[in-house]
Chains A and B, each alone.
Chain A
């Protein structure tokens, strides 16, 4: 009998009492992960936590996408040692590096055990002799990089200061001429310590941490945070609140997807789409500002519902603007598909195969562009998406074109969705009261942000406060995908591949 099927199941946006979580011996815990992943499940989150008694436990959240269920398991580490699974199950490799950095756990046998964020450990040292890898690390990026040797092999170091002065990240290429053999990505420059700061919450600051986890996914992360709170407080939201949240989430997707298509065409030097999409992104952000006064949707969503209501005049104005911007977006984007010089740059560049995408556990548009049907709105629906479905957009070539085209498909779906929802906005209150959080519970929220699956997991202690709050941004899964996409490609195509993934630095660095 397989262990992972016996692990208690829950659906996204629900909580489970901690005593119901199967606390397995280490071997069974690891076997459950390896076997379930081999069966097509995914590791959504894996993290360590220290309970009041000082015991270090490793928790795993596995997603059974076909069954729309999440399975939670844990294991207590008696001697502080955790044998690595990375060589048997690739998608946990970064989680294990993170575990070694955040907790006083000695991860053994990891093929590439290096700091992820160069952060100080969240939990203090417990066992003598076990040192979290992050401790004592001088500063982000100071470490040995993978090196290819050979007379004509050369190394190119890019960053941490980005040429467009966006966010910092360091990229180390091993090249032969123009060809990239290997890319190693070193992040952590944006680490702010959000996960540590959320411990002991929720308090008045917590929601602000959630809103600023990743600036361009404010709605996605705030929705996930609120779902965790609401699951722990057993709060029922009104239909109107759920609808406004879904509209905001899709507006965020529209703005970012349109902006990314423009940026991708800018990277290949195709100006018309670049300028028009740059402007249209602003139009979509302004629609979010119409909802709540903030272009990025800060302050719109709060535990229990939303904080701003929509009146008839606003709905009508939004519908009008959506219609106009929708037509303009279509014109601007169709220029891309019709320009053969652009298609020559998009097609067969930065290919990630379906097998590699599945092995790395990619999420979001990057996974859907490889033909993996993964969409939290469909697989793990929460909020309004339990009642209204958006078709999953899929493409199979896994190249830059696929990642661009998926965005265009999603823009059209989101546009239709927002218009339908605005026309049939349910009546009622926009917020309901939120009580105290259930003590000793674990809650999981899954939200499909524009970049992919945003997963928040909270563990409460005996007094109903956060004992551990784990955030997994889609970028955490997808950065390795970018490294694989440029393998064997030309180094001059890297910026384009990077833009086609459009990953977040601060969402990864937390």
Chain B
């Protein structure tokens, strides 16, 4: 019974919560700007509206263009089923699932970039070039972070390594390593979910875009799927980050589920604050930031060797 509740909680959270996080980010930004901002639930309204709309499809595109948003949503939701969203193990867990987790995220990106190239637009081509260049730097950062966790916990499954019973986090070197990993993961989170300082989700200027420009040709439900997929990605990466920072206690299931929820809201608030307090980086400095994230995780790994 407990397992059923745990799985149900995780699935409901994964399905319903992500758009709220975007709403919280937007509210935070509005607060900093002295505006009232869109309603907290605006992203839900947008998604409902987009689901009702028709789709316009460029005549130069092929089936890849239609498949990409679907693959995007499915891959990111599957990845989400592997990250525990509370103090209980995730619905899907097996030895080596962390590799699958990383590559499910990569699969979504692969299809998004392929669909963008499919349109033949020069803007989208530039967006793809940028996205893939930056992915070359953010993926190693993610893997180095995973490596630290694997080394600390001695297991190869996300659920097992992220929940405290399986490994020991006591001791100052381990904590120091985890601090470095947390910072590194936060940078990866910002890059992967195209937030400032890496990308600007609100800009209308195609020449400066990374993620937004790749989905420029999507409309209606296809666009809704893209927005939803990036919201889910934001939530699972935020949950991942929270596990590294806050060891949850499986004995206090509901308290720690609450902590996880508050944590997710807090991460969204922090992302909103970062977006409000700093400008975007010039594109050529984005790799520098991501290399710094790799180095942080790498040093974390050195600390625990």
| Interface of A toward B, CB cutoff 8 Å | 154-158, 163-164, 177-178, 265, 267-272, 274-276, 279, 339, 341-342, 344-345, 349, 490-496
Establish whether residues B283 and A345, one from each chain, have CB atoms under 8 Å apart when the complex forms. Answer: no
Known: A158-B207, A163-B205, A270-B278. 6 other contacts (CB 8 A): A155-B122, A156-B126, A267-B203, A272-B33, A272-B276, A341-B278
Establish whether residues B204 and A342, one from each chain, have CB atoms under 8 Å apart when the complex forms. Answer: no
Q: Total number of A-B contacts with CB less than 8 angstroms?
A: 85
| Complex alpha-carbon distance, A339 and B32, angstroms | 15
For A494, list chain B residues within 8 Å (CB): 207
For A272, list chain B residues within 8 Å (CB): 32-34, 276-277
Given known contacts A163-B206, A494-B207, is B32 in contact with A156 (CB within 8 Å)?
A: no
Establish whether residues A269 and B207, one from each chain, have CB atoms under 8 Å apart when the complex forms. Answer: no
Establish whether residues A276 and B283, one from each chain, have CB atoms under 8 Å apart when the complex forms. Answer: no
Establish whether residues B279 and A493, one from each chain, have CB atoms under 8 Å apart when the complex forms. Answer: no
Q: How far is the CB of A490 from chain B (nearest CB, A)?
A: 6
Contact of A344 among B35, B125, B206, B281 (CB under 8 A): B281
A270: nearest residue on chain B (CB-CB)?
A: B279
State whether the Cβ of B280 lies closer than 8 Å to any Cβ in chain A.
yes
Establish whether residues B205 and A268, one from each chain, have CB atoms under 8 Å apart when the complex forms. Answer: no
Q: How far is the CB of B111 from chain A (nearest CB, A)?
A: 23
Given known contacts A269-B196, A275-B35, A276-B33, is B279 in contact with A156 (CB within 8 Å)?
A: no
A343: nearest residue on chain B (CB-CB)?
A: B279
Establish whether residues B276 and A156, one from each chain, have CB atoms under 8 Å apart when the complex forms. Answer: no
Q: How far is the CB of A86 from chain B (nearest CB, A)?
A: 29
Establish whether residues A268 and B279, one from each chain, have CB atoms under 8 Å apart when the complex forms. Answer: yes
Q: How far is the CB of B66 from chain A (nearest CB, A)?
A: 25
For B207, list chain A residues within 8 Å (CB): 156, 158, 491-492, 494-495
For A276, list chain B residues within 8 Å (CB): 33-34
For A279, list chain B residues within 8 Å (CB): 34
For A275, list chain B residues within 8 Å (CB): 33-35
A496: nearest residue on chain B (CB-CB)?
A: B208
Q: How far is the CB of A347 from chain B (nearest CB, A)?
A: 10
B284: nearest residue on chain A (CB-CB)?
A: A490
| Complex alpha-carbon distance, A118 and B289, angstroms | 47
For A496, list chain B residues within 8 Å (CB): 208
State whether the Cβ of B131 lies closer than 8 Å to any Cβ in chain A.
no
Establish whether residues B32 and A341, one from each chain, have CB atoms under 8 Å apart when the complex forms. Answer: no
Given known contacts A156-B126, A492-B208, is B279 in contact with A269 (CB within 8 Å)?
A: yes
A279: nearest residue on chain B (CB-CB)?
A: B34
State whether the Cβ of B110 lies closer than 8 Å to any Cβ in chain A.
no
Given known contacts A268-B279, A341-B278, is B33 in contact with A178 (CB within 8 Å)?
A: no
| Complex alpha-carbon distance, A341 and B274, angstroms | 11
For A155, list chain B residues within 8 Å (CB): 122
Given known contacts A156-B123, A272-B32, A275-B33, is B280 in contact with A495 (CB within 8 Å)?
A: no
A345: nearest residue on chain B (CB-CB)?
A: B279
Q: How far is the CB of B289 from chain A (nearest CB, A)?
A: 11
For A339, list chain B residues within 8 Å (CB): 277-279
Which residues of B (116-140) have their CB < 8 Å from a CB of A? Answer: 122-123, 125-126, 129
| Complex alpha-carbon distance, A274 and B204, angstroms | 14
A-B contact pairs, 14 of them (CB 8 A): A156-B126, A158-B206, A163-B206, A267-B203, A267-B208, A269-B279, A271-B32, A271-B276, A272-B34, A339-B277, A341-B197, A344-B279, A345-B279, A345-B281
A163: nearest residue on chain B (CB-CB)?
A: B204
| Complex alpha-carbon distance, A491 and B210, angstroms | 13
Given known contacts A276-B33, A345-B282, is B206 in contact with A269 (CB within 8 Å)?
A: no
Give the dominant DSSP class at A's interface.
helix
Contact of A178 among B35, B197, B276, B283 (CB under 8 A): B283
Contact of A156 among B33, B122, B282 (CB under 8 A): B122
Contact of A341 among B129, B206, B279 (CB under 8 A): B279
Q: How far is the CB of A118 from chain B (nearest CB, A)?
A: 24
| Complex alpha-carbon distance, A315 and B123, angstroms | 51
Convert B270-298 into 0s and 1s, putting 1 for each residue whose CB lies closer than 8 angstroms to a CB of A. Answer: 00000111111111110000000000000
State whether the Cβ of B109 lies closer than 8 Å to any Cβ in chain A.
no
B122: nearest residue on chain A (CB-CB)?
A: A156
Which residues of B (208-262) have their CB < 8 Å from a CB of A? Answer: 208
| Complex alpha-carbon distance, A342 and B279, angstroms | 5
State whether the Cβ of B29 lies closer than 8 Å to any Cβ in chain A.
yes
For A491, list chain B residues within 8 Å (CB): 126, 207
Q: How far is the CB of A181 from chain B (nearest CB, A)?
A: 15
State whether the Cβ of B192 lies closer than 8 Å to any Cβ in chain A.
no
| Complex alpha-carbon distance, A267 and B203, angstroms | 7
| Complex alpha-carbon distance, A272 and B280, angstroms | 13
| Complex alpha-carbon distance, A342 and B196, angstroms | 12
Given known contacts A156-B126, A276-B34, is B29 in contact with A271 (CB within 8 Å)?
A: yes
Q: How far is the CB of B305 from chain A (nearest CB, A)?
A: 35
| Complex alpha-carbon distance, A270 and B278, angstroms | 6
Convert B79-110 into 0s and 1s, putting 1 for each residue whose CB lies closer than 8 angstroms to a CB of A. Answer: 00000000000000000000000000000000
Contact of B204 among A164, A344, A490 (CB under 8 A): A164
Q: How far is the CB of B7 from chain A (nearest CB, A)?
A: 39
| Complex alpha-carbon distance, A45 and B281, angstroms | 41
Establish whether residues B122 and A154, one from each chain, have CB atoms under 8 Å apart when the complex forms. Answer: yes
For B122, list chain A residues within 8 Å (CB): 154-157
Establish whether residues A269 and B275, one from each chain, have CB atoms under 8 Å apart when the complex forms. Answer: yes
| Complex alpha-carbon distance, A271 and B35, angstroms | 11
B202: nearest residue on chain A (CB-CB)?
A: A269
For B125, list chain A residues within 8 Å (CB): 154
Contact of B33 among A271, A345, A349 (CB under 8 A): A271
Best-surrounded residue of A265, A268, A491, A495 (most CB of chain B within 10 A): A268
Establish whether residues A492 and B283, one from each chain, have CB atoms under 8 Å apart when the complex forms. Answer: yes
Establish whether residues A490 and B282, one from each chain, have CB atoms under 8 Å apart when the complex forms. Answer: yes
Q: How far is the CB of B121 from chain A (nearest CB, A)?
A: 10
